[in-house]
């Protein structure tokens, strides 16, 4: 694949559109099979969540790229400095070559194909490494892609450990990884040995800040949804909430009520997704037990000792009040339906709390006071922000998606993905009428005249 990417011409517009159409048919022809494969991997995955959070987003991304690809591929005019006129500058997008994608398990379809869409639109060949935690999905994707694509265009690997071990160390022209910060560091290290540029979509502890001006009922409903979508197994889910101390107990009760309203108390509820593995389930149990042992108050809308919760590998929605720095739940990304709610004295303390930690992948602010909102936006740095809701900045196809610092590097989505997976090559077209020859020796007095001119223009 690497050799062919160097020896064959870059695919033209028609060829790229054809590849995007074939990728769409991979999903369209196998919608129900993908839903079944993903639920088999999770134990249970809400079919509605797979449809709206994965399949529909993939279709939207392909539709957007198809509509705008001709414009994206067109060389861009760039201003030319006065002293070089009438020469021209252009910025010419070219495919990088071969893009590797290391995909996560939590939104296996969407977070695999969304970066692949950008890479294909940019004219690259793509090799995809699915997560070993979703073997049913990985096998189906490998089969479906293999039916529509030559292996030199798009290739899906297996999930065996020996393949996964060295994937990040292959000599890609670009590598995309979505996953944990810990593994992201290892991926970046492996890629660095080949000087392979990387886009890292990581995670971290994304805060939700409740301003004193917020509507608590509205905020509780929207945070409950943002936290419990995919049972909290979402990299941009609100990881903890900062709320004015006087409203802490009332807000927590409102969130618990919304959790009960949305998903009830029956673990067999088809709308509520299972935790992906026994190991992840045990990790969540450990986080809650550690917090309780250290004095936190645990609120749950359902009885956690109901045996069917564990039998269905569904973790009961859980609120933690009184969480402290010593608790594991405040030291690592939760990635499950567990939500610490912390009280703050004022907005300044909330901002300071966020800024004392790694920069998050997402930040959520709830309130009506514009000046308070703008202060949080100005004084915090995060991958993305949704105001008065959760998650929806991710769905904005004209906006980039990406982290900052420990939550990631680089961006994708729409044109941003096209640019990430392209080399934007600057090209200077010299004009025969330009006096650049004045720069050549012998220098004499002409250099002094040229220097004077350039100083006047600077």
Catalytic machinery residues: 201
The answer to whether residues 341 and 251 touch, using CB atoms and an 8 Å cutoff, is: yes
- 297-312: buried (b, 16+ CB within 10 Å) or exposed (e) per residue? eebbbbeeeeeebbeb
Give me the sign of the Cα torsion angle 276, 279, 282, 288.
Answer: negative
Q: How far apart are CA 371 and CA 70, in angstroms?
A: 41
Per the structure block, which two tokens stand in for 123?
């004219």
Q: For the chain, how many residues are written?
A: 458
Which segments of 105-238 are extended strands (E)?
Answer: 125-129, 154-156, 174-178, 198-201, 207-210
Which position has the token pair 């005249």? 449
Q: How far apart are CA 124 and CA 121, in angstroms?
A: 7
Most distant pair of Cα atoms in the chain: their distance: 91
Contacts of 205 (CB under 8 A, 6+ apart): 239, 240, 330, 332, 333, 334, 357, 358, 360
């Amino acid at each position: 694949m690497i050799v062919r990417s160097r020896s064959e011409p870059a695919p033209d517009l028609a060829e790229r559109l054809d590849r995007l159409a074939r990728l769409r048919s991979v999903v369209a022809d196998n919608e129900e099979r993908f839903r079944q494969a993903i639920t088999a991997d999770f134990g249970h995955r809400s079919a509605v969540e797979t449809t709206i959070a994965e399949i529909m987003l993939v279709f939207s991304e392909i539709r957007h790229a198809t509509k705008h690809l001709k414009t994206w591929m067109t060389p861009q005019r760039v201003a030319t400095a006065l002293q070089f006129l009438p020469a021209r500058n252009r910025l010419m997008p070219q495919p990088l070559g071969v893009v590797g994608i290391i995909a996560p398990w939590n939104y296996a379809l969407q977070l695999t194909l969304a970066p692949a869409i950008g890479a294909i639109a940019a004219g690259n060949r793509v090799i995809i490494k699915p997560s070993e935690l979703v073997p049913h999905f990985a096998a189906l994707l490998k089969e479906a892609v293999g039916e529509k694509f030559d292996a030199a265009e798009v290739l899906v690997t297996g999930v065996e450990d020996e393949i996964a071990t060295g994937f990040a160390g292959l000599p890609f022209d670009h590598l995309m990884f979505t996953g944990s910060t810990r593994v992201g560091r290892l991926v970046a290290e492996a890629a660095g040995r080949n000087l392979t540029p990387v886009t890292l979509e990581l995670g971290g502890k994304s805060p939700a800040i409740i301003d004193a001006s917020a509507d608590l009922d509205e905020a509780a409903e929207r945070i409950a949804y943002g936290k419990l979508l995919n049972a909290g197994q979402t990299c941009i889910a609100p990881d903890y909430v900062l709320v004015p101390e006087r409203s802490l107990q009332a807000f927590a009760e409102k969130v618990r009520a919304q959790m009960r309203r949305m998903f009830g108390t029956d673990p067999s509820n088809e709308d509520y997704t299972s935790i992906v593995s026994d190991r992840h389930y045990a990790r969540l149990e450990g986080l809650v037990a550690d917090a309780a042992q250290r004095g936190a108050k645990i609120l749950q809308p359902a009885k956690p000792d109901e045996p069917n919760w564990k039998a269905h590998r569904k973790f009961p929605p859980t609120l933690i009040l009184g969480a402290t720095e010593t608790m594991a739940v405040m030291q690592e990304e939760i990635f499950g339906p567990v939500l610490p709610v912390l009280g703050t004295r004022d907005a300044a303390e909330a901002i300071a709390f966020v800024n004392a930690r790694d920069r998050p992948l997402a930040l959520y602010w709830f309130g009506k006071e514009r000046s308070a909102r703008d202060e949080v936006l100005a004084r915090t740095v995060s991958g993305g922000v949704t105001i008065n809701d959760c998650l929806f900045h991710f769905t904005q196809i004209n906006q980039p998606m990406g982290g900052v610092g420990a939550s990631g590097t680089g961006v994708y989505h729409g044109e941003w993905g096209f640019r990430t997976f392209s080399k934007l090559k600057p090209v200077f077209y010299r004009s025969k009428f330009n006096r650049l020859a004045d720069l050549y020796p012998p220098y004499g007095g002409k250099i002094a005249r040229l220097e004077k001119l350039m100083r006047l223009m600077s």
